Every structure is written in C-alpha cells, then in structure tokens.
Amino acid sequence: MSFVPDRYCRQSLLPEIGQTGQRRLNESRAVIVGLGALGSCVANNLVRAGVGQVVLIDRDLVELHNLQRQILYSEDDLNVPKAVAAAAILKKINTSVEVETHTKDFNVSNAESLLAGADVVLDGTDNLQTRFLINDVCVKHTIPWVYAGAVGTGGMVMPILPGKTPCFRCLVPSQPGPGVLQTCDIAGVLNTIPSLIASLECTLAYQILTGQPDVGDKTSYLVHVDAWRQTFDRMSVGQRADCPCCREGRFESLDAVSREMITSLCGRDAIQITPAAQMEIPLPELEMRLSRLGEVRLTPYMLTFRSGKEEFSIFRDGRAIIKGTKDEATARSLYARYIGL
C-alpha cells in the first residue's frame, strides 16, 4: 500500500503523531469486532486516519432501526450484511486503505484466526460473552485491544495491553445475572453517544499504534462519559491478583467445548443459529431446493427464504438468522427442517 502524505497533512502536523506516527498508522492492521453504532463510527475514523489495513467482522444485516445511529449505512443497505455495506463505503472514502470483510459470527471456532496478525483490536460488540472471548484471544496472543460500550446516554472505554495492564476480566470478573445489564433494546441509545465513545476508542488505538499508550505498570483506566449530563469520569483500574485470565493463564471462553450456538439477537424478534462445525453450504443448490417451498433470493453473500411467517437469512458458513420467533426450540426445528443440518 502506498503512503499518501498530503491526505494526512493536518493529522501529521500534530506533535502527538508527526510523520513517524502517521507512517506507523499507515503500516498497521486494526480489527473491528462488530459494526453497529460503535463499530461503524470506529471504521470510519480508522480509514480516514490512514490505518493501513482495517478488518471488519460482523454477523448481522442492516435494519431500519440501525439508521438512527449507525453512520455508514443508508436505506439502500437494508438487509445487506453490515460488513459488506460498510466496506463499500469505506473503500470509496480511502482507496489507499486495505479493507477486509468477514460476514461471520465471531465465536470460539474462528476467534483466533480472525484476530491473527492484528496490531490492535477494537470493540464494537454488544455483549459480554464476545468481549470475554476477545479478551482471551488478545491476552493469549499479546494483542492490544480497546474495550468500549455505549447505551442510553452514556458509554465507557478502557485500553487493555496484555502483559502491561489489567485485562477485561480484571474489570468484569464474571457474567452478571439476567436483567442486570442495560441493553439498547431496553434503555435505548442517544445517537450522539456512539460517535463520542468511538472517537475516544480510536484515539486510544492511535496511541497504541504509535507506541504512546497512556497506561501504567499493571494499571489502566476506565473513562465513563454521559453525553446528556456532559460529564467525564476517569477511574483507575488495577490488576486482580486472582484474575483467571491475565494472572493464571486460563482462557475459559477459548476452552469452551465446541457446540452449536443459538443466540437471541438483541432488540430483534429473531434467533441466530451457528453450527458447531465449520462448513461451506452450496447456496445455489439450496436455492433450488427451497424455491419449491417459498420465496427465495440469492445474493453473493447469503440466501433469503420466506415461507408464510417464517423468514431465513442463510450464510455460506451454515449460519442462519431466523426471523419471527424468540423461541430457541422453534428456531432449531425450522433450521433442521429447511437446511437439513
């Protein structure tokens, strides 16, 4: 990839970055897990800043309610995979950046391969299970990452440098019980807070990539922002002596037994099913089989199928999103009936 100094002249004028820092950004590889409100803002910033390789990972499709806050998408992108829609825009923004896309569910079967070679990982997820998995991979392979979250009118960020700072499990030792955590589905989200948190998250990534992380020895910090109340709080975070991950080297999320994963999607009347084994479904053959049973549409990246009240989005790797139900048993039965796995 060629270096284009004029594009970044206002950024490289900053003493915090300079020509050397800009070149380091240009030669870096950043991975974004999740391309919702946070992830889409993060991707936009990284590509405009000239981070040389930007990897996009997201399992989901663009929906109408996303457009209130997810800045890379428009009405033309409805029902298109977010990674595909985002890449199309990002490649127009900066042709000198290499944009890599993965329309996959990030899970234990692929997490290490998807994050391999990253200089930094950025959090665009909406659940703790995925963050625990990111943390396991990054601590195991000594990959810096930035935790971030946004819900309601507030959000938070924390830089994590394995071997130097506390890890995410030091901050959140275990999964809270049901109903404890707020979600966008319950609390809503102000559309200014994701861009604000994403800006802080990207700034932390720039510090990491240019070799200037603002962390201490075995300490880090959590910044909490409330956009509505205009408040910023910075809290010190120390390493837990009994942390199972960064102190004891136990990677519980990575060591989970491989199994079929059934997930109720946040804020949607839908269930996602991810097969335990990696596979490649011949979508044209499945299209022929399902065309006798209902309305089918094949695209380069997925197949959609509707029969009565049932609607499927089926991806090449066997993953399916089944709309119109919140019942896992019903979704699994429909998956077996129509996909046959």
Catalytic residues: 184
Please provide residue 145's backbone torsions phi and psi, each rounded to the nearest 5 degrees. -150, 160
Two tokens, residue 66 = 């996303």
Cα–Cα dist 30/26, whole Å: 11
Cα–Cα dist 310/263, whole Å: 17
**Across 142-292, where does the E strand assignment appear?**
145-151, 154-160, 219-226, 231-238, 261-264, 270-274
| Cβ 117 vs Cβ 141: under 8 Å | no
Q: H-helix or E-strand containing 39? A: helix 37-49
SS3 237: strand
Please provide residue 99's backbone torsions phi and psi, each rounded to the nearest 5 degrees. -110, 120
Strand order in the sheet with 29-33: 98-102, 53-57, 29-33, 120-123, 145-151, 154-160, 219-226, 231-238
Burial group, residue 59, by CB count within 10 angstroms (0-12, 13-18, 19+): buried
| CA 238 to centroid of chain Cα atoms | 25
| Cβ 123 vs Cβ 201: under 8 Å | yes
| CA-angle at 210, arms to 209 and 212, nearest 5° | 105
Angstrom distances, CA of residue 96 to CA of 1, 30, 32, 90: 6, 15, 18, 10
